[in-house]
A and B are shown apart, each in its own frame.
Chain A
Amino acid sequence: MNILQWMIFCCLGILLPGCSKDDPVKDPPPPPFTGFEVPAGFPAAAYKLANNNVTAEGFELGRKLFYEPRLSRNNTISCGSCHLQSAAFTHHGHDVSHGIDDRLGSRNSPPIMNLAWNTTFMWDGGVFDLDLQPVVPITNFVEMDETMGNVLIKLRNTNPYPALFKKVFGSEEITTARMMKAMSQFMVMVVSDQSKYDSVMRKQGPTFTPEEQKGYALFQQKCNSCHTEPLFTDHSFRNNGLTPGPNNDEGRYPITLNPADRYKFKVPSLRNLAYTAPYMHDGRLYSLSGVLQHYAAEVTDMPTLDPLLKTNGKPGIALTAEEQQQLLAFLNTLNDRQFIRDKRFSEEAQ
């Protein structure tokens, strides 16, 4: 094959998929499974991938388990019940979630997103290993109200699980560790890195509008110390000045018993905010303008209030109405439409 032929061949390769657009039945073939990859510009993952190499089969088993209602006592609630892909894996529209028998929780469902970089899990950081995180909702009285032992029995007696576990782990044996590792393989793959912000940073073509650019400058000046790029969280626990709610949730304090941790919650990522309302650990704020209003004017001073939320002894972050608009414009560049539509992560993919 000479060079010219080769070039024509390549061009055809590019053109041909374009032709198939006329055929509504045929989806483009899924990209080959590449395992877990750190996106350009992201730091190294915190999750110990060396202990759990992500394979196509493991990822698929993990996804199946993620959408498996048998994880709950009466086979009604799956992880996906309160972590909806269309809501960036949160429970859109619910301040707190309803689990089994419509029992209510006390905190807002956090997103399953970029978990490979998380050092702790839950709003209070009480879980420090992703491989043991699913035990909590499974055994929680208001979420799935099941025992781990029972879940394993159900999976062992349900086809095609034994065969799927054999494909991933070499034998049909279903253990806590195997189940958890498969779920982690799915969860670490759920990466959001295709927002406009990412394209701008990677210089892939799109640029910020002037308003977004001003918002970005404001963000770097006033928000970035806690919501640190590119994950938009520094994984720390902070009191952001929300008045304690009726249940007096003290956040991190019951985990560490350190009085300095009272009312501190994990700094959440700001990615995909458009899909994840309501906001805050108890979902008390229903809109982003409400969130900015909180930081601008409604921060409550408390002994454990984060020092960064105080200027000259005054609580809050000074933000004019115009600045709030600019910030909102920037925050909207963090939405990743591809992420919430990615078929690899969806229940229908099975």
Chain B
Amino acid sequence: MYCTRMIYILLIVATFTACKKDGTAPAADSNVKATLSIQFDNIVGDKNLQLNTGVYKNAAGESFQVSRLKYFITNISVKTAAGKEYIVPKDSSYFLVSEEDAASQFVKVRVPEGEYTSLSFILGVDSLSSVMEVSKRTGVLDPSAGMDDGMYWGWNMGYIFFKMEGISDAAPVDPSGQHKFRYHIGGFGGYSAPTLNNNRTIRVDLTAAGVAKVRSGRETNIHLMVDVLKMFNGSTQVSIAANPTVMFGDFSAKIADNNAQLFRHDHTEN
């Protein structure tokens, strides 16, 4: 009799669970891996980023347009409320997000089923990966693939972690006759002599805007807003007039610090 009642209760619970559409997921099996999508939605302040056409203004009052935006996202990991962390294997965790390529803005990794309350990744390419043997540099790390816009530094070996270029009247005229700004931020810390490390680890708390409930058979999407205006308006205010070109130099560390603040969790689609 007791057993029958239990079965009824279980059935009812199961029925309700199945009916619920508001995000309550079926039980997670941490032995099963499922796809987690992380969306990098590039914006400029209150506006969507539109390459070449959108006109924006930074805190220094300088109008600008963006012609190119690319950055490396690597070393992704997720953590549950209980503090259990899952680190995506390094070789499955190299991504190049490009504003020109919509598909590249959805970074997809396989993680165990579970409820994740925080997400972590590196904006850049970590030191070990930056000194890898050439045969391991495949996919987005291959100097011949997707690098034609130059996300690989040959002369000072390493990758450009973050590249934003565009046009602004505030930029001085360059030899090509354009008023162009160029921010190429890289530097993994040096191989034989220590130098700048502009890799930044980003931790995003998901509790407020939506825990990621990863299950097989569906694709949870963590929607991040990437506000490139914060590259200018961060803890260091960057003026295009004062720093139209920033590549491998001491000032690049300030931009790397600003860039660590670009990412905001907007919502999660479970």
Which A residues form the contact surface with B (CB < 8 A)? 48, 51, 119-120, 122, 125-129, 131-132, 135-136, 139-140, 147-152, 175-177, 180-181, 254-258, 261
Contacts and interface: CB of A to CB of B under 8 A. Distances in A.
Given A148-B147, A257-B248, A51 B133 contact: yes
B207 interface: no
B134 A181 contact: yes
Contacts, number: 83
B134 A176 contact: yes
Interface string B69-82: 00000000000000
B256 to A, nearest CB: 13
Contacts of B143: 132, 135, 148, 176
Nearest to B146: A149
Given A129-B134, A131-B133, A177-B134, A149 B147 contact: yes
Contacts of B156: 126, 254-255
Contact of B157 (A51, A126, A150, A261): A126
B145 A149 contact: yes
A187 B246 CA distance: 35
Residue of B154, B192, B196, B248 contacting most chain A CB atoms (<10 Å): B154
B144 interface: yes
Contacts of B137: 176-177
Nearest to A174: B144
Secondary structure at chain B's binding surface: helix, strand, loop or mixed? loop
A342 B162 CA distance: 46
B157 A257 contact: no
B134 A136 contact: no
Interface string B107-134: 0000000000000000000000001011
B195 interface: yes
Contact of B155 (A51, A140, A147, A256): A140
B145 A128 contact: no
Contacts of A181: 134-135
14 contacts: A51-B135, A128-B131, A128-B157, A128-B191, A131-B133, A131-B134, A132-B134, A132-B143, A132-B154, A149-B145, A149-B148, A176-B134, A177-B138, A181-B134
Given A126-B157, A127-B157, A139-B154, A257 B249 contact: yes
Given A126-B156, A132-B154, A257 B195 contact: yes
A127 B155 contact: yes
Contacts of A176: 134, 137, 142-145
Residue of A51, A119, A129, A177 contacting most chain B CB atoms (<10 Å): A177
